[in-house]
Amino acid sequence: MQSSFSIGDFSALSRKIRATTRAEVETALGGKTCTLDDLAALLSPAAEEFLPMMAARSRELTALRFGKTTQIFAPLYLSNFCINRCAYCGFAADNRIPRRKLTIDEARQEADILKKRGFDHVLLVTGEAPAKAGVDYLEEVVLCLRDQFAALSIEVQPMEEHEYARLFRAGVTAVAVYQETYDRTIYDQVHLAGKKMDYDYRLATPARAAAAGMREIGIGSLLGLADWRAEGLALGTHLSWLRKQFWQTNFTVSFPRLRPAAGAFEPLVQVSEKNLSQLMFALRIFDPDVGLILSTREEARFRDGMLGLAPTRYSAGSCTDPGGYSSDNHEGEQFSVGDHRTIDEVCQVIVNKGLDPVCKDWDREFQMH
């Protein structure tokens, strides 16, 4: 049914965005609909002086579509084994960190802690090591945890459609798989070994997961690798293509900024908070229905300021190492977080902003097979 997706020349996206005039930004901001050309305009340097207006439009659209709410979730790291060598990632195969894969009992212990803290949506995370933490293992974990939580999603190695279908039947609701960068040249430069070196296989993964019936697909770019403006346009292009192909699927977008991690990788480009906020406002104006995630990678001050403006989903109290919730030693973490507050503290700020922190927005009964 689907043709395959490709992004074309990444540098052409950058050039297109940078050629934007002030008038084009005004057109994009004032329009009833927002095309990909408008998105390019909103991502441009020319749009920077309009940032407060973009924020206002973004807030309006976010409230219209999602109401005065912010969803809350937590990641649960199951394994940090990884066959890839990604220059920026703490889990990279050549990093000397303690490696661990949780047993089913250990996973349950971590889950119990998250449940007690009030989380009902949990994102299961692994490095990419199918031999250690493959479909069989993930299915076992999901079958064990699904009765406890309203929704389980996964951020693991890319899989085949039939594998996603199997995990969907087991109770997985959503799949997050980030391209990291849509710039093929940079992609090749930072993915040094492992299956992740295959740009095209990864690019086709969201469509495979959607075709398998997953209710929600998350895409994203890791900011700090290539031109963030062009990443934004590439994400918008990918998103609108996916929407055309899979009109029954929900979509989310993440914009993780590079954080300090084992391996001491320096970002290839700087992305400021101002840049990140422009990116989020632009994506919101482009697609009022898309879920936007702002994780604990960002600092509390910035996360608090952004509440209600564009993001719809926050993680809270995150540990990024397997077993991190039951231990004080976080040596094997993927990256160090920027917001160390507990779920209760984060929820209190959300309430103070006049928003409702939503912990349950799905029900496992939808997927009982």
Partner 1 sequence: MLTIAETDFTSRLFVGTGKFSSAAVMERAITASESEMVTVALRRVDLENPDDDIMTHLDREKVRFLPNTSGARNAEEAIRLARLARAAAGTRWLKLEVTPDPRTLLPDPVDTLKATEQLVKEDFIVLPYMNADPILALRLQDAGAAAVMPLGAPIGTNMGIQTALQIAIIIEQARVPVVVDAGIGAPSHAARAMEMGADAVLVNTAIAVAGDPVRMATAFKQAVQGGRTAFEARLGTRSSSARASSPQRGQIGEPLDFIEE
Rule CB under 8 A: which residues touch partner 1? 1, 26-27, 30-33, 49-56, 59, 243-245, 247, 272-274, 277, 301-302, 304-306, 309
Min separation Cβ 245 and partner 1, Å: 8
Q: How many residues does the chain have?
A: 369
Closer residue to partner 1 (CB): 35 or 189: 35
Question: CA angle, corner 258, sides to 256 and 260, nearest 5?
Answer: 130
Min separation Cβ 53 and partner 1, Å: 4
Min separation Cβ 23 and partner 1, Å: 9
Question: CA angle, corner 161, sides to 155 and 167, nearest 5?
Answer: 55
Spatial separation of the C-alpha atoms in residues 294 and 310, rounded to whole Å = 9
Closer residue to partner 1 (CB): 87 or 300: 300
Min separation Cβ 225 and partner 1, Å: 21
Closer residue to partner 1 (CB): 353 or 360: 353
Angle of helix 135-145 versus helix 161-170 axis, rounded to 10 = 20
User: Could you please report the per-residue DSSP string of 155-213?
Assistant: E-S---HHHHHHHHHHTEEEEE---B-S-HHHHHHHEEESGGG-HHHHHTHHHHHHHTT
Min separation Cβ 305 and partner 1, Å: 3
Query: Which residue type is seen at 105?
Result: D
Closer residue to partner 1 (CB): 113 or 302: 302
Give the rounded distance of the alpha carbon of 357 from its chain centre. Answer: 19
Min separation Cβ 309 and partner 1, Å: 7
Closer residue to partner 1 (CB): 110 or 287: 287
Q: Which residues contact 333 (CB under 8 A, 6 or more apart)?
A: 90, 261, 262, 319, 320, 321, 324
Min separation Cβ 259 and partner 1, Å: 15
Closer residue to partner 1 (CB): 51 or 204: 51
User: Is 130 in contact with 103 (CB distance < 8 Å)?
Assistant: no
Specify whether the backbone of 270 is left (phi greater than 0), alpha (psi in -120 to 50) or beta.
beta
Rg (CA), the chain: 19
Question: Which residue(s) pair with 229 in the sheet?
Answer: none
- Provide the 10 A C-beta neighbour count for residue 215: 18
Specify whether the backbone of 316 is left (phi greater than 0), alpha (psi in -120 to 50) or beta.
beta
User: Is 261 in contact with 335 (CB distance < 8 Å)?
Assistant: yes
Closer residue to partner 1 (CB): 86 or 207: 207
- Provide the 10 A C-beta neighbour count for residue 267: 14
Closer residue to partner 1 (CB): 32 or 116: 32
Closer residue to partner 1 (CB): 109 or 250: 250
Min separation Cβ 65 and partner 1, Å: 15
Min separation Cβ 59 and partner 1, Å: 6
Q: Which residues contact 12 (CB under 8 A, 6 or more apart)?
A: none
Closer residue to partner 1 (CB): 243 or 364: 243
Min separation Cβ 242 and partner 1, Å: 12
